[in-house]
């Protein structure tokens, strides 16, 4: 399932980009239960960017039929991402902690300056290979990503206003 999510941020691109790889900001996100307690596992500075790994947990709702085959508590994953500071583009891939042969997701985040602020455009694909419920699980994951992005947009705008 292909998706696009736009986040409208009130700060300049450089400030947004720096916040998104700031370990303090990622730790702050971990205090907000609705965001699945993100946990920074590793971060490496590159000549023109940053490579990092962050663990997340699914916080959305799953229907009863989906819960029969997928345990929501086991829907955790590590987002591997590489930010290119020259293009302001991040490539990411999701590597599930469980259900690795059933779930795949990857995409990009692109930061775009707009009227003194920034739009963060997420584009990606989510695929779930499970008979009869794969489409429902994919839709639930994308719905969860949209909720996560809306909350994170508010948290990031508040964080950037506080610094």
Measured in degrees and rounded to the nearest 5, phi and psi for residue 132 equal 70, -30
Strand 76-84 and strand 103-114: pairing? Answer: unpaired
| Per-domain boundaries in the chain | 2-162
pLDDT confidence band for 135 (50 / 70 / 90): confident
Nearest to 66 by CA among 103, 38, 36, 97: 103
Contact 84, 49 (CB under 8 A): yes
Model confidence, pTM: 0.87
CA 163, chain centre distance (Å) = 22
pLDDT of residue 60: 67
Q: Does domain 2-162 have CATH number 3.30.450.40?
A: no
Dihedral of CA 81/83/87/89: which sign? positive
Most confident segment among 112-121, 138-147, 154-163: 112-121
The pLDDT, as a whole number, for residue 162 is 55
């Amino acid at each position: 399932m292909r998706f696009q999510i736009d986040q409208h941020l009130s700060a300049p691109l450089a400030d947004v980009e720096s916040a998104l790889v700031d370990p303090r900001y990622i730790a702050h996100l971990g205090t907000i239960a609705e965001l699945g307690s993100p946990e920074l596992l590793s971060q490496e500075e590159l000549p023109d960017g940053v490579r990092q790994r962050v663990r997340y947990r699914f916080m959305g709702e799953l229907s009863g039929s989906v819960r029969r085959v997928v345990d929501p508590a086991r829907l955790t994953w590590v987002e591997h991402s590489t930010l290119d500071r020259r293009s302001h583009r991040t490539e990411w891939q999701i590597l599930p902690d469980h259900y690795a042969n059933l779930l795949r997701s990857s995409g990009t985040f692109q930061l775009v300056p707009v009227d003194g602020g920034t739009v963060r455009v997420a584009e990606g694909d989510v695929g779930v290979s499970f008979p009869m419920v794969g489409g429902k699980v994919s839709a639930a994951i994308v719905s969860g990503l949209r909720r996560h992005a809306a909350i994170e947009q508010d948290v990031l705008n508040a964080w950037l206003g506080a610094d």
